[in-house]
Amino acid sequence: MTYDTITIFDTTLRDGEQSPGCSMNTAEKLEVAGALVELGVDVIEAGFPIASPGDFEAVQLVSRTYGDRATICGLARCRVEDIDRAWAALEDAEQRRLHVFLATSSIHREFKLKMDKSQIVAAAVEMVSRAAGYCDDVEFSPEDAARTELDFLCEVVEKAIAAGATTINIPDTVGYATPEQFGAVFGYLKGNVPNIEQSVLSAHCHNDLGLAVANSLAAVAEGARQVECTINGLGERAGNAALEEIVMAVQTRGDYYGCSTRVNTNKLFPTSRLVSSITGMKVQRNKAIVGQNAFAHEAGIHQHGMLQERTTYEIMRPEDVGFVGTNLVLGKHSGRHAFRDRVDQLGYTLDDTVFQTVFEDFITLADKKKEIYDSDIAALIDNRIGEGVDFWKLASLHTSAGTDTIPTATIELQSDDETIRRDAATGDGPVDAVFRALERLTGIDARLEDYEVRSVSKGKDAQGEVLVEIVAGGRHYHGKGISTDIIEASAQSYLKALNKVIADSQAADSQAADSQAADSQD
Ligand SMILES: [Zn+2]
């Protein structure tokens, strides 16, 4: 049996990034794009270039860096300036796609756009033609398609294809669809749009009713050959369809769907961890495919069955998705070679510099704790990925706390340009004192929104992982730190978040300088 290939269109950097508190800076977007390329997704929607100079820059950088390894896509409304701006951001990519959208449902026509049906069709045709003039890969999305009258949807789709759209994406923008009904929309389009075979049908589902993945799969069963999704189902409100669930459902049930994807499934787990670590959006323990418990068989009767024959209770193997458990793997005497092997097996691709740093961290950790688990290694790697952007590094930390004493923290920071700053502060407890000292040292006034500490693996000597969310200048920032000492991990996580604030203000400064330079050329 020959399987049809489903195009995996990842929109973690566009739709996913829109969710509150999940915004990423350009360096972080580039990091995620690199992971998506390694994962093997077909299309990366890198942003909405007209939305902001930062969005433009990110799409451009992703295009220049990865445009030869995946199709890079930029989003545009049905407006001349949107399409031109998106094209300018994508131009340097070898493989590129313009994605044009326009709402078609009666509620959007009447209240948002104040356009009638004929105006909608005319605008879609004009703007799809404009996009097709730039690029032979054009996607058109009738926004809120799931609530659009079917006959009108057919008319818009037919004319958009005639105008040059090579992919027709059907979004369930508000997460209103149910599987049978959404699947039927695809069947209807196939049966009633005469030129439908000239385009690829795509599904874009939101998870407001918890049906995003089910709806996407129903679309696949009815002929959709592209699915739009995000890592960990990241996205506004209840999120988008989760990439890892779509991919593993199509793979595990290839017998039913008759389809496959080009995704390297053993990279799913590390990519999930990376996105979670960058956005600060945690993955629930029982989340399908990438949750910590997704492969834990606790019931005695299951364990017995598993020992006899794994497939009695296991439909996927943990290694198929690059799952990182708490297997005891390495100790102090494991050499560089064994460590490199393990890193590869865990699905990470590290350049030599990062590898060397992580290896040194591993040696330091092996001095502090006897047993090192996969989850420890994954935490060490996550901690070092993307850290090149940090302005301040923690040089030293001393705290004193206890009963009958005022909690105090003394901290020394070293900057990129070797400047050393020292300061101390008191607080309600040692963590509070550390945070106050860091704010004094960096001169940033931040509000702590969330603080969480958890152990990375088993045992009293386990590494502690601290996650913080702060608000500075009205924006949310996340930081993560790990150490066998949770006060140090707290300091690292807070400093990480403060470094992101600094990176943002530096980027804003350089953009302001750029636009001044541009003005002066006029
Ligand atoms: Zn969406």
Q: How far is the CA of 243 from the centre of ligand 1 (A)?
A: 13
* Length reported for the chain: 522
* Cα–ligand 1 centroid distance for 345 (angstroms): 34
Q: Work out whether strand 96-103 and strand 447-455 pair parallel, antiparallel, or are unpaired.
A: unpaired
Rounded to the nearest angstrom, the distance between the alpha carbon of 487 and the centre of ligand 1 is 39
CA 439–ligand 1 middle distance (angstroms): 37
Q: What is the pLDDT of residue 518?
A: 44
C-alpha 441 to ligand 1 mean position (Å): 41
Helix (H) or strand (E) holding 128: helix 117-134
CA 4 to centroid of ligand 1, rounded, Å: 25
Residue 15 backbone dihedrals phi, psi, to 5 degrees: -70, -40
Q: Coil, strand, or helix at residue 161?
A: helix
- Rounded to whole angstroms, the Cα distance separating 288 from 300 reads 21
pLDDT in tens, 314-344: 789 888 998 876 666 677 777 888 888 888 8
Contacts of 319 (CB under 8 A, 6+ apart): 266
Instruction: Report how far ligand 1's centroid is from the alpha carbon of 240 (Å).
Output: 7
Percent of the residues in the chain that have a pLDDT greater than 90, as a whole number: 65
Q: How many angstroms is it from 314 CA to the middle of ligand 1?
A: 33
Q: If you measure from the C-alpha of residue 204 to the centroid of ligand 1, how many angstroms do you get, rounded to a whole number?
A: 6
How many whole angstroms from 187 Cα to the centroid of ligand 1?
22
Q: Distance between CA atoms of 319 and 314, rounded to whole angstroms?
A: 12
Distance 452 CA to ligand 1 centre (A): 30
- What's the gap in Å between 179 CA and the centre of ligand 1? 17
Q: What pLDDT is recorded for position 140?
A: 98
Instruction: Check: CB of residue 145 under 8 Å from CB of residue 117.
Output: no
Report pLDDT for 521: 39
pLDDT in tens, the chain (522 residues): 689 999 999 999 999 998 877 888 888 899 999 999 999 999 999 999 999 999 999 999 999 999 999 999 999 999 999 999 999 999 999 999 999 999 999 999 998 899 999 999 999 999 999 999 999 999 999 999 989 999 999 999 999 999 999 999 999 999 999 999 999 999 999 999 999 999 999 999 999 999 999 999 999 999 999 999 999 999 999 999 999 999 999 999 999 999 999 999 999 999 998 999 888 888 998 999 999 888 876 666 666 666 677 777 778 988 899 887 666 667 777 788 888 888 887 778 888 888 999 999 998 888 888 788 888 888 888 888 766 568 899 999 999 999 999 999 999 999 988 899 999 999 999 999 999 999 999 999 999 989 999 888 778 888 899 999 899 888 888 888 999 999 999 999 999 999 988 887 877 777 666 555 444 434
Residue 383 Cα to ligand 1 midpoint, Å, equals 30
**Tell me: the pLDDT tens digits for 394-418?**
999 999 999 999 999 999 999 988 8
Residue with tokens 């040194």: 360
- The CA 137 to ligand 1 mean position distance, Å, reads 20
What does the alpha-carbon distance between residue 228 and residue 9 come to, in Å, rounded to a whole number? Answer: 5
